Amino acid sequence: MENPSLYSLRMRAAQGGAHECGGLHISGGERLSTAEEVETLVSQLLHKAMSHSRGTADFISIVMEKVDQKEVECLSPLPVSTYDVHTPEEGRRQAAILLKQLFVSDTAIQNGLDLLASSHNWRGAILLDSQSGERIDHRGDRGIRVSRMDWEKSKHRLWQNQHPSFTSSRIAEAIALATKVARSPYTVAELCWSDDPEYVTGYVGSCELGYCRISHLKRKGELSGGRIFFVKEGTDIESYIEYLERKPVWIG
């Protein structure tokens, strides 16, 4: 039997015009969808764009592209652990401890934390050399948007049963993204906290330590947030970005 068609769905929403015209980034989302699910998932993405704590979007783009089934890879989700901390300062110290364990240099850790703390309008991830700490992508505020990953439905149900306290789609989406990123041989670690003002939990992701949630990485009300991918020295940037943006991945 022929494989069913698969589609990549990508949404981005901004306020004050499109991102490329200087608009403020409100929300984004990426899904993988079978033909039957497309309408449901598109309306979920629209809902995400139109009911967001960063503000009301006046620009929304949804792009749908057919994906070659033969290219799809299946990855098992990173294991999850949680560090309960009481302040963002304590949380950032904990993030630094984990990144150091993963052999990210002190300079790169500091640059990553400073960049995230000062950001407030990033659409995608920033790539930093894990040793020199220098930025190695040339994407400006746009950054790199990881796309074409999603949970395999039945596996997500199973995972949800094993992790009953993680009910929000935010956590599932973050684990899917962190899993795809960590499984590239070029990735050393990822550091993330949300740019949504009410959400202060973030994580350090890596193959070695899994998905390490840290309960506080910023103060409530702040618009800072984003993602830093710390990469190996000598990474082939073009093929790394190609993997992040184009390689279809089922998490399950």
Q: Is 193 helix (H, G, I), strand (E, B) or coil?
A: strand
Q: Does 202 bind ligand WAQ (CB under 6 A)?
A: yes
- Position of tokens 């220098």? 134
Q: Which of residues 194-213 bind Mg ion (CB under 5 A)?
A: 195-196
Q: Which of residues 112-131 bind ligand WAQ (CB under 6 A)?
A: 122-125
Q: Does 177 bind ligand WAQ (CB under 6 A)?
A: yes
Q: x/- string (CB under 5 A) for Mg ion, residues 150-189?
A: ----------------------------------------
Strand ranges in the chain using DSSP code E only, listed in sequence order: 6-15, 24-34, 59-67, 73-75, 80-83, 125-129, 149-151, 187-193, 202-206, 210-214, 226-231, 249-251
Closest by alpha carbon to 251, among 164, 158, 162, 144?
Answer: 158
Phi, psi of 126 (to 5 degrees): -105, 135
Cβ neighbours, 10 Å, residue 187 = 25
What's the closest the beta carbon of residue 114 comes to Mg ion, in angstroms? Answer: 20
Q: x/- string (CB under 6 A) for ligand WAQ, residues 142-161?
A: -xxxx---------------
Tokens for 87, please give them. 């302040």
What's the closest the beta carbon of residue 249 comes to ligand WAQ, in angstroms? Answer: 12
Q: Which helix (H) or strand (E) holds 89?
A: helix 88-101
What's the closest the beta carbon of residue 216 comes to ligand WAQ, in angstroms? Answer: 11
Q: Does 213 bind ligand WAQ (CB under 6 A)?
A: yes
Sites of contact with ligand WAQ (CB under 6 A) = 28, 30, 122-125, 143-146, 170-171, 174, 177, 192, 194-196, 199, 201-203, 213, 225-227
Sites of contact with Mg ion (CB under 5 A) = 195-196
